[in-house]
Amino acid sequence: VISAIGISSLPTFPSPSTCNSWKGILLLLSHDSMGESGLLECPSVCPRPSAVYLTHLDYADTERIMTEKLHNQVNGTEWSWKNLNTLCWAIGSISGAMHEEDEKRFLVTVIKDLLGLCEQKRGKDNKAIIASNIMYIVGQYPRFLRAHWKFLKTVVNKLFEFMHETHDGVQDMACDTFIKIAQKCRRHFVQVQVGEVMPFIDEILNNINTIICDLQPQQVHTFYEAVGYMIGAQTDQAVQEHLIEKYMLLPNQVWDSIIQQATKNVDILKDPETVKQLGSILKTNVRACKAVGHPFVIQLGRIYLDMLNVYKCLSENISAAIQTNGEMVTKQPLIRSMRTVKRETLKLISGWVSRSNDPQMVGENFVPPLLDAVLIDYQRNVPAAREPEVLSTMATIVNKLGGHITGEIPRYSTPSSNAP
């Protein structure tokens, strides 16, 4: 009784609308080899522990109740979007609470029933709700995904299809599910799986432009972080470096084009669209670096000096605008975009330094040009143009590098002492 009440009272999650055929997944679940061997924003208060505790108390009873309620969705006696969302949230909440074989049997039953329900229901909105619930549940069971490569690959390809859907919430759901799967199954994407001719990461990188072409910038950033977790799982340094170069090819092409134009005419860095592009590219680098970690040094080194030069140039533009037009100019979109570029530059550097594992290399090669560009710039700037992130970035560097940087500090103590 407690289990039934608990399952019925669990919250729902927001469901996007989409309409897709799930026959490929259904075929995989029906295949003999399966027996041989989502992910949306959670509510602020998550009742997952309650569902897990109930499952540990009596997993057979929990499974029976959930299966019955799912059958009632299929036969229509309890069908509603709210009931389905609540039930699927409960099913997703107990991931890992059962023994692996019991979990596999239960999950296959659940997905088959949901796929059947999706085929049975008419109307795009109904199919959309069911489809989003399938993706949510699948994303909650990484142990199952890791044990069934073909199914995992099919699910990820389905997410890539979702990334082209225009209905509200669909692309966000696809990207959020993708990053969770990438985090939990990262090694599987960089290994050659049975029946494959190359690691799936290579397929993703070969088609990255097609996959992300309909995504918004923020969604692209999430996608890049997800792929970064996969690349970070590659243990062969040479292979990993090749993957990173391929991974960052698209943003680097845009970056190189802007830098080339700025070399000929620095006023291009006053163009609103150009500055906005720079900010987005740096945000992509920040998210990629977060996932890849220290090996991202190959990419950071590629853009580092140009990035610091852009930082100094935009900082001068901001200071000049403030001196000419007063502090109110900082609220203008172009100035805000310029400050975004500066902040993302600092975020990228501090993020990488915090994940670095060679303090001597960082101290000798990356810190000196950074201090020259950032601290001297900080000292010269009018107070309204100074970025607080400069101080937090310096704190990160000092804390991470310790004695490897102390020799540099005295030369820059005066600018820091002038901080507001």
At 383, is the pLDDT very low, low, confident or very high (cuts 50, 70, 90)?
Answer: confident
**Share above pLDDT 70 across residues of the chain, in percent, rounded to a whole number:** 82
Instruction: Calculate the CA 250 to chain-centre distance.
Output: 17
* Helix, strand and coil in the chain, % to nearest 5: 80, 0, 20
Which residue, chain included where needed, has tokens 């055929």?
21
Distances (CA, A) of 8 to 3, 69, 394: 9, 9, 51
Token pair listed for 215 = 């995504």
- pLDDT (0 to 100) of residue 25: 55
Q: Is the pLDDT of residue 34 over 50?
A: no
At 19, is the pLDDT very low, low, confident or very high (cuts 50, 70, 90)?
Answer: very low
Report how far residue 373's alpha carbon sits from residue 240's, in angstroms, rounded to the nearest whole number: 30
Q: Most distant CA pair in the chain: distance in Å? A: 76
DSSP code per residue over 178-213 = HHHHHHHSHHHHHS--TT-SS-HHHHHHHTHHHHHT
Q: What are the pLDDT digits (tens) for 316-338?
A: 999 999 999 998 999 999 999 99
Q: What are the pLDDT digits (tens) for 258-293?
A: 999 999 999 999 999 999 999 999 999 999 999 999
Q: What are the pLDDT digits (tens) for 111-170?
A: 999 999 988 998 878 887 888 898 899 999 999 999 999 999 999 999 999 899 877 778
Report how far residue 139's alpha carbon sits from residue 95's, in angstroms, rounded to the nearest whole number: 10
